[in-house]
Structure 1
Amino acid sequence: MRTASAVAALIFAAPAAWALEPFQVQDIRIEGLQRIEPGTVFASMPLRVGEQYNDDTGAAAIRALFALGVFKDVRLEANGNVLVVVVQERPSIADVDFAGTREFDKDALKKSMRDVGLADGRPYDKALTDRAEQELKRQYINKGFYAAEVLTTVTPVERNRVNLTFTVVEGESARIKDIRIVGNKAFSESTLKDLFNQDTGGWLSWYTKSDRYARSKLNADLETLRSYYLQRGYLEFRIDSTQVAISPDKQDISITVNVTEGEPYVVSAVKLEGNYLEREDEFKSLVTIRPGEPYNADQVAETTKAFSEHFGNFGFAFARVEPAPEVDRENNRVALALQAEPSRRAYVRRIQLAGNNRTRDEVIRREFRQFESSWYDGEKIRLSRDRIDRLGYFTSVDIETQEVPGAPDQVDLVVTVAEKPTGSLQLGAGFSSAEKVSLSFAVKQENVFGSGNYLGVDVNTSKYKRTFVLSTTNPYFTNDGISRTLDVYYRTDKPYQDQGGNYELISTGGSVRFGVPFSETDTVFFGGGIENNRIKAGTNIPAAYLAYTDAFGSSSTSLPLTIGWARDDRDSALAPNVGRYQRLNSEWSVAGDARYLRANYQYQQYVPLNKKFTLAFNGELGWGKGMNNRPFPVFKNFYSGGLGSVRGFDQGTLGPRDVTGASLGGPKKVTLNMEMITPFPGAGNDRTLRLFTFADAGNVFGDSEKVAWGDMRASVGLGLSWISPLGPLRLAFAHPVRKFAGDKIQKLQFQIGTSF
């Protein structure tokens, strides 16, 4: 038996340690395989049966087998004219596990290991393991855990396999001990440090983690600092250096930012240069830079962006607009020349979608106002993006314009979305001496099976108010975007005092409603339904209910027609900071036992006062009247008090009452709310956790009563708003400042999935 053996390093550096005499290969036999298929070895070897073996071909064969990365050792032996390939396989990975990793999810870590080649069934490679260990350390450093240690344990198991365990001792994360800004003169250090999201911590740092250093966060804070100066005329402001020092025990970090402010500049003139398609007047109307005012980089960026978008409206997808400042340092003035080059006109060849793993393509494409094979229109593309974003199915929507190779007049639009869970669970609770704890919940799915349809179930398990509502909406019932909503409901209402055997109001019905979009923000709704209201007799029945049943019977059927209108241009439905929302609903019963007209109008306005404070207003008016010489049905009355109206008062207890003390509601309702919203102290600029103070006023009035301010109830209070995984949670403590004898008070309230 003759043998040739070599390790990979020797093969690339020197001839084999033992050479075989050249011979003609009559057969090739492979020994030592356990999991690798023989065909893999034969396909990789550059030597075939019938060819001449020599040192060069032997070395090439060994190199090729080592290159597969699955063998730890390879030997070539000759038994007569038979070439014997003896291999020793690398162990395969049986399992990859992590211990001590509290900061990272294990599934995410396993996925990252799989990306670098460390996964179940893969060959074990010490070099890859060392690289993965260093990468894991780097991830901890990015999170501020500079003292983190990683130990890799390789445990052999049966069938030539190994288990890999990465044991991490995380230690304590390094905290920002000090932030210094050096070189500032125009603004105080405390003012500039307030711009940073990173800080030295507060009592809420355990939630915000604002005192944990991260290079990416520091870069974002430095950009905020630069923007702050550039907005105030400091054209030549620069950040000279940033020093990040860590203590010897790797627990404390000090940050020093050295800046040069320069001098503030005032805009002396704004000029348009270049090709503006003979539409200079249109472009001048888009200029937000004002001569005589301090130079503002945001205004310059806003103007150039508006110019580029306006060029896009005429099909010029690649227009370039560059601001060229002409600086007069002697007088601290700057003249801006906006140089434009529209380049070439283009049309959209294809619209491609990416990221919608669950949502169907048609749900996104039907929102597009830019069509394929049409001229590029920037305004329609922006409108399309906004419409997709308003669906509420995605955390982000990006549209990228790509040139088509070989076709300078064509572009492709790539729409990339990031999907979010569209199911929601809404919970509500309140406590009062009468009802004790009341609970409600709703399960909703905004995007059922990725179809864009809505399905919701609303259930209230209150002792005195039970509700079951099933609702479904098809937003594209027709190809023109007309929506259809179907509702089926069952509700029972009892009086709010627990005296046993009380009367009960039972409402059962169904409706269909269509929504017709008249603009991008306006929708008109109309529909109809059938409803049965039954007053179940019992003790303590109010005289108004008893009089109604005596005159019209205990059961009333109505056929209401509905018409409504909604306009919504808020920046967010969950945590709005700017914009307004309006809604008008009306209901007219044209047939049946009950004849009435009922209308409700709501108006919300959000006004940002500065980066931290937002002022919010909400107003709601309700009005109802009986028709055909009949009174307004008592079971259609409005109610006020509690969540969604005047906080601090028990739910639905304001307004007229019976001699028994039962709340009757009324056909007239007024609700006014005002909130001052700010980030929670210690949470930096995080708007997912916010504090608000509020003032509420309102009441419900009877048919013969006048709406008078003197009869209004009012309250003030303090609340907490949190965008939780279940939806927006609002906790409020209210103190009634205007109340009357007999009013029922409920000071502490919370609800998930509502505003105001």
Structure 2
Amino acid sequence: MTRSPTRRLLALALASALSAPAWAQFAPPAATPSSPLPAPAASPEAFTVSDIRIDGLQRISAGTVFTYLPIERGDTVDQPRVAAAIRALYKTGFFEDVQIGRQGGILVVTVKERPAINKLTITGNKDIKTEDLSKGLKDIGLADGETFDRMDLDQVTKELTRQYNNRGKYNVEVTPTVTQLDRNRVDVTITIKEGKAAKIRHINLIGNEKYEEKYIRDDWESREHNWMSWYKRDDQYSREKLDGDFEKLDQWYLDRGYVDFARDSVQVAISPDKRDMFITAGVTEGEQYKISDVKVSGDTVLPREEVEKMIFVKKDQIFSRRVLQATTEAITAVLGNIGYAFAQVNPVPDVDREKRTVGIDFQVVPGPRVNVRRIVFKGNNRTADEVLRRQMRQFEGSWYSQVAIDRSKIRLQQLGYFETVDIETPQVPGSSDQVDVVVNVKETTSGSFLFGVGYSQLSGITTSIQLTENNFLGSGNRVSVAAQRSSYQKRYDFSFMNPYFSDNGMALGYNLWWREFDYSDFNVAQYSSNSGAAQAIVSLPITEYDSVSALLGIDTNEILAFQGTTPQVIVDYIDAVGNRTFHSWRAQLGFSRDTRNNAIFPSSGTAQRITVESTLPGSTVEYYKIEYDFSKFWPLGQALVLNTRLDLGYGDAYGKDFTRTLPDGRVVTASGLPFFENFYAGGVSSQGRLRGYVDNTLGPRATSVFGFPQPIGGSLKTIGSLEMFFPKLFDSNAARISAFLDFGNVYKDVDSFSASEFRASTGVALLWRSPMGPISISYAFPLRDKVGDETERLQFTFSGGL
């Protein structure tokens, strides 16, 4: 087990406190400027104390000394009692020197105070956090305002050096500096030069005859220097890490039946410059053992035949400690889910070395059935307890269930309100059959606030304000308000969602928005629109992981085309419909399944959603859209998580086509998905994400009368990505780096689909959940780009949702 720096310093404190102080002699005190009297004569004879005088005090009051001094006026003292008084004053830790003498009948106590620490400063430390160091130093009395003891400082210096040596840093320099100040005070500075960790140049196993070393060391954390060491740092020597690898070595052989396996010797050598490490281990493999018999004993609680079905160990199999452990965990988990929180399953081996066999007896000790007394939440300073409690699947007053507790943790993580969630189950004092469930959370930003002022030649001064809060006032409700205004654009949005409108988890929300675009961005076709909508949303969970949703709303969209600049296909569509204002009754049905272990930065699980949206009969244009979004996270180890994502969309008209003959004799037709509902691709937005290309610029383009090609989107969207996350690159739960490959495109319709038109890009991205909101920054290299594509390598979004 790895011991933390704090625990080591606590042990050091105990050792320091038990060190015996030096005894002063029963001798006359030396004369000092504050006590100019002549030194009293020493006397080994007992005498009665008529008075007590304290000399040498500066900061400490005489009353404090009298509190610890075991002698009072009128006492008769002799040499042993004076020695005991000196020990008592030394034990206070306040004094560097204590002498006791007499002047007639007056007992004279002369002390030299230890200085007080004015300020303690630690610099240069990276491997050991400052807060951990400061806490450990405070535990042994090295802190601001405490009494300074040089012996403690020397011991801390040695301990820190040893700590860094265990981390492979043998060039570390720990330099304490003590600066004397007035009024018997000191400043203490501990300067640490950590240096670089020694690198493992060679690992050698001796005695492994049945298996090659490369297979044995496949999952070791300690590795020889290799091309990935810059990232994994697996070539840096650490004693704790090496000890863990040797435990894996033992496990490796025991999993393959070598019961008598032993490590004979371990040698760790370091180069003269203390930069290279050489590790050699001698082993004895022994013989391979098989299972001779398997049985279950003890109080199984459940029918014995049910417990026997959980046993993975079979007669005549090769012995494997891993299989034994899996069996004990399986039985323990089942008992834990029905209330036996402290159940134990002990596999007792019966080794026959002559026959090379092992018999296993699984002894079941269920312990008392445990009830959950109380569920307590800590760390939710802003979020109401009710918001957390409704996510719990473990309930107060019910039997303990480890499955319910594990699921509760995942549901809390999926809220997105917390950086970390930890659940403890301490036993109720004085009770063997009750536990409390203590949920410790660390809150993080659950929303974003954005205010901006900008200027461009196109739009002039632009002001925008947006407030999004997923945990409004700690209630768990989601509220979003946004307003943006410029000389060409006005936009107002409001949305509200109550995820627990009813006790059974039904969610109810509303969307209201109004948008006026006098001139669109250059990234999409140029036309103006005035649009607004009012929508109601209902969502209902149907299983622990699945939910269905429905939306019903009404919207209006007025399109204004500009002769000469708007693409001709858009002008013809509006002319064919014969109405520039589109009114719609809109309905949407959705199904989603989410098994991710975390809503912010998941490392496993799947999230998928399918939605079918349609305008209802009687709308100006009758059409439908189908979208499917799939995302799966594959944990490839502690340092790697692979995300595979697919984003598909398709839309078409289901009502009649519009055909008109214009005054100039041209016949125009409006069919298929309306142009203002087209899918777009390119950029870093969550819909149609294909980094490395300018937002919304991929796919079909159309020209205006003036011949300027403009993106108009398409009715078919096919986007995919492979993204490798490196969650351990930063020591933070709020940021991570990824490497990605994005691919896909949008097409006019299904008949236009061609894989040869796929665009692709690769690059790296930084995802950071900052205090002001989520930030995504990517640097991409476009692949398969063609003439006319608009590329952009560096892209970022703020509060765009990670």
CA distance in structure 2 between the partners assigned to 1:490 and 1:235 by the alignment: 74
Picking from 610, 619, 625, the partner of 1:584 is: 610
Are residues 59 and 610 of structure 1, via their aligned partners in 2, closer, same or farther at CA, if it must alter by over 3 Å? closer
1:177 positional shift: 1.6
- Secondary structure of the residue aligned to 2:696 is coil
The 8 Å contact of residues 349 and 373 in structure 1, kept in 2 or not, is answered as yes
The answer to whether the aligner puts 1:98 opposite 2:122 as a matched pair is: yes
Aligned residues: 722
The answer to whether the aligner puts 1:257 opposite 2:257 as a matched pair is: no
Pairs within 5 Å for 1:273-422: 273-289=297-313, 295-325=319-349, 336-353=360-377, 361-392=385-416, 397-404=421-428, 406-408=430-432, 410-415=433-438, 417=440, 419=442, 421-422=444-445
CA distance in structure 2 between the partners assigned to 1:78 and 1:607 by the alignment: 81
1:456 positional shift: 7.2
Give the aligned residue type for 1:669.
Answer: L
CA distance in structure 2 between the partners assigned to 1:254 and 1:459 by the alignment: 64
- Secondary structure of the residue aligned to 1:407 is coil
CA offset digits 1:645-668 (Å, max 9, x no partner): 5566554334443233222223x3
CA distance in structure 2 between the partners assigned to 1:115 and 1:462 by the alignment: 60
Percent identical residues: 34
The answer to whether the aligner puts 1:219 opposite 2:243 as a matched pair is: yes
Which blocks of at least 5 consecutive residues in structure 2 are unaligned?
1-19, 30-41, 451-457, 459-463, 658-670
The 8 Å contact of residues 506 and 533 in structure 1, kept in 2 or not, is answered as yes
Are residues 545 and 150 of structure 1, via their aligned partners in 2, closer, same or farther at CA, if it must alter by over 3 Å? same
Partner of 2:650: 623
CA offset digits 1:32-66 (Å, max 9, x no partner): 544435543443344456x4353466655554443
Partner of 1:4: none
Pairs within 5 Å for 1:31-70: 33-48=57-72, 51-52=74-75, 54-55=77-78, 61-70=85-94
Partner of 1:652: 696
CA offset digits 1:490-510 (Å, max 9, x no partner): 7788767589x9434566667
The 8 Å contact of residues 414 and 597 in structure 2, kept in 1 or not, is answered as no
The answer to whether the aligner puts 1:165 opposite 2:165 as a matched pair is: no
1:718 positional shift: 4.5
The answer to whether the aligner puts 1:9 opposite 2:22 as a matched pair is: yes
CA offset digits 1:62-118 (Å, max 9, x no partner): 544433322344566878877776654322111112344465555554444333321
CA distance in structure 2 between the partners assigned to 1:485 and 1:30 by the alignment: 78
Give the aligned residue type for 2:595.
Answer: D
CA distance in structure 2 between the partners assigned to 1:389 and 1:600 by the alignment: 27
The answer to whether the aligner puts 1:569 opposite 2:598 as a matched pair is: no
Are residues 673 and 303 of structure 1, via their aligned partners in 2, closer, same or farther at CA, if it must alter by over 3 Å? farther
Picking from 201, 212, 215, the partner of 2:225 is: 201
The answer to whether the aligner puts 1:541 opposite 2:566 as a matched pair is: yes
The answer to whether the aligner puts 1:188 opposite 2:212 as a matched pair is: yes
The answer to whether the aligner puts 1:637 opposite 2:678 as a matched pair is: yes
The 8 Å contact of residues 713 and 746 in structure 2, kept in 1 or not, is answered as no
Give the aligned residue type for 2:649.
Answer: G
Give the aligned residue type for 1:146.
Answer: Y
- Secondary structure of the residue aligned to 1:195 is coil
The 8 Å contact of residues 23 and 83 in structure 2, kept in 1 or not, is answered as no
The 8 Å contact of residues 681 and 746 in structure 2, kept in 1 or not, is answered as yes
Partner of 1:744: 789
Pairs within 5 Å for 1:502-521: 502-505=526-529, 513-521=537-545
Give the aligned residue type for 1:635.
Answer: F
- Secondary structure of the residue aligned to 2:338 is coil
1:148 positional shift: 1.6
Are residues 235 and 314 of structure 1, via their aligned partners in 2, closer, same or farther at CA, if it must alter by over 3 Å? same
The 8 Å contact of residues 574 and 728 in structure 1, kept in 2 or not, is answered as no
CA distance in structure 1 between the partners assigned to 2:497 and 2:550 by the alignment: 14
The answer to whether the aligner puts 1:700 opposite 2:713 as a matched pair is: no
1:472 positional shift: 6.6
- Secondary structure of the residue aligned to 1:658 is strand
CA distance in structure 2 between the partners assigned to 1:302 and 1:639 by the alignment: 50
CA distance in structure 2 between the partners assigned to 1:153 and 1:504 by the alignment: 71
CA distance in structure 2 between the partners assigned to 1:634 and 1:307 by the alignment: 60
TM-score normalised by length of structure 2: 0.74
1:162 positional shift: 0.8
The 8 Å contact of residues 401 and 411 in structure 1, kept in 2 or not, is answered as no
The 8 Å contact of residues 622 and 653 in structure 2, kept in 1 or not, is answered as yes
- Secondary structure of the residue aligned to 1:119 is coil
The 8 Å contact of residues 28 and 102 in structure 2, kept in 1 or not, is answered as no
Are residues 714 and 134 of structure 1, via their aligned partners in 2, closer, same or farther at CA, if it must alter by over 3 Å? same
Say which is worse superposed, 238-247 or 172-181, in terms of deviation. 238-247
> What is the Cα-based RMSD across aligned positions, in Å?
5.0
The 8 Å contact of residues 633 and 642 in structure 2, kept in 1 or not, is answered as yes
CA distance in structure 1 between the partners assigned to 2:642 and 2:124 by the alignment: 45
- Secondary structure of the residue aligned to 1:746 is coil
CA distance in structure 2 between the partners assigned to 1:247 and 1:53 by the alignment: 66
Say which is worse superposed, 654-663 or 124-133, in terms of deviation. 654-663
Are residues 166 and 315 of structure 1, via their aligned partners in 2, closer, same or farther at CA, if it must alter by over 3 Å? closer
CA distance in structure 2 between the partners assigned to 1:255 and 1:465 by the alignment: 69
The 8 Å contact of residues 204 and 281 in structure 2, kept in 1 or not, is answered as yes
1:141 positional shift: 1.8
1:238 positional shift: 4.5
Say which is worse superposed, 344-353 or 720-729, in terms of deviation. 720-729
Give the aligned residue type for 2:791.
Answer: Q
Partner of 2:713: 665
CA distance in structure 2 between the partners assigned to 1:72 and 1:41 by the alignment: 14
Which blocks of at least 5 consecutive residues in structure 1 are unaligned?
1-6, 428-434
Say which is worse superposed, 206-215 or 68-77, in terms of deviation. 68-77
Say which is worse superposed, 743-752 or 608-617, in terms of deviation. 608-617
Are residues 595 and 339 of structure 1, via their aligned partners in 2, closer, same or farther at CA, if it must alter by over 3 Å? same
Are residues 120 and 617 of structure 1, via their aligned partners in 2, closer, same or farther at CA, if it must alter by over 3 Å? closer
The answer to whether the aligner puts 1:129 opposite 2:153 as a matched pair is: yes
CA distance in structure 1 between the partners assigned to 2:480 and 2:166 by the alignment: 42
Picking from 592, 598, 605, the partner of 2:625 is: 598
Are residues 476 and 72 of structure 1, via their aligned partners in 2, closer, same or farther at CA, if it must alter by over 3 Å? farther
Say which is worse superposed, 339-348 or 34-43, in terms of deviation. 34-43
1:453 positional shift: 5.8
Partner of 2:547: 523
The 8 Å contact of residues 497 and 509 in structure 2, kept in 1 or not, is answered as yes
CA distance in structure 1 between the partners assigned to 2:218 and 2:142 by the alignment: 44
1:145 positional shift: 1.6
The 8 Å contact of residues 318 and 342 in structure 1, kept in 2 or not, is answered as yes
1:600 positional shift: 1.8
CA offset digits 1:1-58 (Å, max 9, x no partner): xxxxxx96334x7687834974464x76666544435543443344456x43534666
1:125 positional shift: 1.2
CA distance in structure 2 between the partners assigned to 1:485 and 1:406 by the alignment: 48
Are residues 317 and 172 of structure 1, via their aligned partners in 2, closer, same or farther at CA, if it must alter by over 3 Å? closer
- Secondary structure of the residue aligned to 1:159 is coil
Are residues 691 and 489 of structure 1, via their aligned partners in 2, closer, same or farther at CA, if it must alter by over 3 Å? same
The 8 Å contact of residues 425 and 441 in structure 1, kept in 2 or not, is answered as no
CA distance in structure 1 between the partners assigned to 2:466 and 2:246 by the alignment: 44
- Secondary structure of the residue aligned to 1:248 is coil
CA distance in structure 2 between the partners assigned to 1:755 and 1:297 by the alignment: 45
